Amino acid sequence: MTPLIDGLQYANWSERIFRQMRAGGVDAVHVTVTYHETFRETVQVIERWNRWFERFPELIFPGRSAADVTRARETGRTAIFFGAQNPSCIEDDIGLVEVLHTLGLRFMQLSYNNQSLLASGCYEDDDTGLTRMGRAVVAEMNRVGLVVDMSHSGERSTLEAIEQSSRPIAITHANPARWHPARRNKSDTVLRALAGSGGMLGFSVYPHHLKGGSACRLQGYCEMIARTADLMGIERVGIGTDLCQDQPDSVVEWMRVGRWTKAPDYGEGSADAPGFPPMPDWFADNRDFGRIAEGLRATGMDAAEVAAVMGGNWLRFFETGFGAAAPGRT
């Protein structure tokens, strides 16, 4: 059977959520372990996950390769794949790319909204593309098998990452800008380049990324997926919910502000409502993936196409994205 894989979540993790994953039949999840944390702070988060793996071995285990998704299905558990939404965790040291990969990191964004040492974020007025260090880090990520994620990066930086990377990259949680023109959503130019290079797009359920916000209807969301599959190819799309379950509103401040400013920065959404927006009524937690699958079938997708979107495409991407490059190649 085809697995169910979510391309991105950032929850306030607990046994309750782990059990919801199992109730929803979620086989693998890419989880954010760091935003603006330093290397040492990121290691502390990984230590916390190691304790959860010890406490709940019947529910979750660390994912390292695509084979772990199969193991998760066979053992009735969820494989957890670590990711970083900002390159702060490698600080200014390219050697930490390999160290963090060894510790389980499998995805890393080159920027989170702002300019980083590697690339421009989607909120910068001027997108200057990949920096010198950015190009070097992409090559190192390609070498060790750490996926380049451009979900929060600007257009020029994203296009340059696609061109620079010797492996397909991912945009793990975003939607088409033509459907909803949020600053974080992606142009058709980016989506075509991503698909042409063998990359993956994970469709977000985060309300700021949805047409109509929290009031977005399931039918509209699934029709958007179907039309984007027409543009990119059914094999290049999956789900990346960006589910931030049980997080206090104070976490939004950390996501948006980090250490770079003393002033509020509400980013997406209204400055009058800086916290997490309500989720759409058809997707509250990990038990609701079946509703998306039903919605995709209602658009006319056949069983194989629905299975591909719900996890089969991510599994294939994991198979080629996580392994180390052959000696002498990047």
Write a three-state SS string for 117-173: CCCCECCCCCCCCCCHHHHHHHHHHHHHCCEEECCCECHHHHHHHHHHCCCCCEECC
Amino acid occupying residue 235? E
The predicted model gives 122-149 an average pLDDT of 98
pLDDT tens by residue, 121-133: 999 999 999 999 9
Q: How many CB atoms lie within 10 A of CB 326?
A: 8
Q: Measure Cα distances from 304 to 173, 182, 293, 307 in Å.
A: 22, 31, 11, 5
What's the pLDDT score for residue 330? 45
Q: What is the pLDDT of residue 1?
A: 78
Predicted confidence (pLDDT) at residue 156 exceeds the cutoff of 80: yes
Q: Reply yes or no on whether the pLDDT at 264 is more than 80.
A: no
Architecture per CATH, domain 5-321, reads as: Alpha-Beta Barrel (3.20)
Torsion angles phi and psi, residue 199, rounded to 5: -80, 180
Is the CB of residue 164 less than 8 Å from the CB of residue 141? no
Q: Where are the domains of the chain?
A: 5-321
pLDDT beyond 60 at 318: yes
Percentage of the chain modeled with pLDDT above 90: 88
pLDDT tens per residue, range 30-48: 999 999 999 999 999 999 9
pLDDT value at position 89? Answer: 98
Mean pLDDT of 303-308: 98
Q: Which residues of 268-292 are buried (b: 16+ CB within 10 A; e: fewer)?
A: bbeeeebebbebbebbebbbbbebb
Q: What is the pLDDT at residue 271?
A: 47
Predicted confidence band at 329 (pLDDT cuts at 50, 70, 90)? very low
